[in-house]
Amino acid sequence: MTLDDFYSFIVLYQTRNISDAAIELNITQSALSKRLRNIQDELDMPLISTRNRRQLTITEGGDVFFHYAQTILTQYHLMQTELQDYRALKRGTLHIGSVPVMAQYGLTRKMSHFMHDYPQINIRLSELQGADLLKQLQAETLDLGIIRDVQSQRLNKSQFTAINLDTDELRVVLDAAHPLAQQSTIALNDLRDSELVTLNPGSGVYEQMDALFQQAGFIPNIRFTTPHIETLLGMVAHTQRVTILFAKAAQPFLTSEFVTRPFSTPLISHLQLIYPHGTLSQAAQRLINYLR
How far apart (Å, rounded) are the C-alpha atoms in residues 284 and 225?
34
- Whether the predicted pLDDT of 143 surpasses 90: yes
Measure the CA–CA gap between 181 and 257, rounded to whole angstroms: 11
Mean pLDDT along residues 93-105: 94
pLDDT band at residue 115 using 50, 70 and 90 as cut-offs: very high
- Quick one: pLDDT at residue 230? 95
* Range 101-122 burial, b when 16+ CB lie within 10 A, else e: bbebbebeebbeebeeebeebe
Ranges of each domain in the chain: 3-87, 92-157+277-291, 166-269
Parallel, antiparallel or unpaired: strands 221-226 and 195-199: parallel
241-266: per-residue pLDDT in tens? 999 999 999 999 999 999 999 999 99
Looking from the CA of 210 toward its CB, the CA atoms found within 13 Å total 12
Given a cut of 90, whether residue 178 has pLDDT beyond it is: yes
For range 96-114, the mean pLDDT: 95
pLDDT, the chain, mean: 91
Q: Which CATH class is domain 3-87?
A: mainly alpha
Q: Report whether 278 contacts 98 (CB < 8 A).
A: no
- Percent share of the chain, pLDDT over 90: 73
DSSP letter for each residue of 137-198: HHTT--SEEEEEHHHHTTS-TTTEEEEEEEEEEEEEEEETTSGGGGSSSB-GGGGTT-EEEE
Domain 166-269 sits in CATH 3.40.190.290:
yes
Question: Tell me, what DSSP letter sits at residue 248?
Answer: H
Domain 92-157+277-291: assigned CATH number = 3.40.190.10
Fold matches, 92-157+277-291 and 166-269: yes
- In this structure, of 44-48, 65-69, 200-204, the range with the lowest mean pLDDT score is 200-204
What does the pLDDT average to over 188-203? Answer: 92
pLDDT category at 53 given cuts 50, 70, 90 is: low
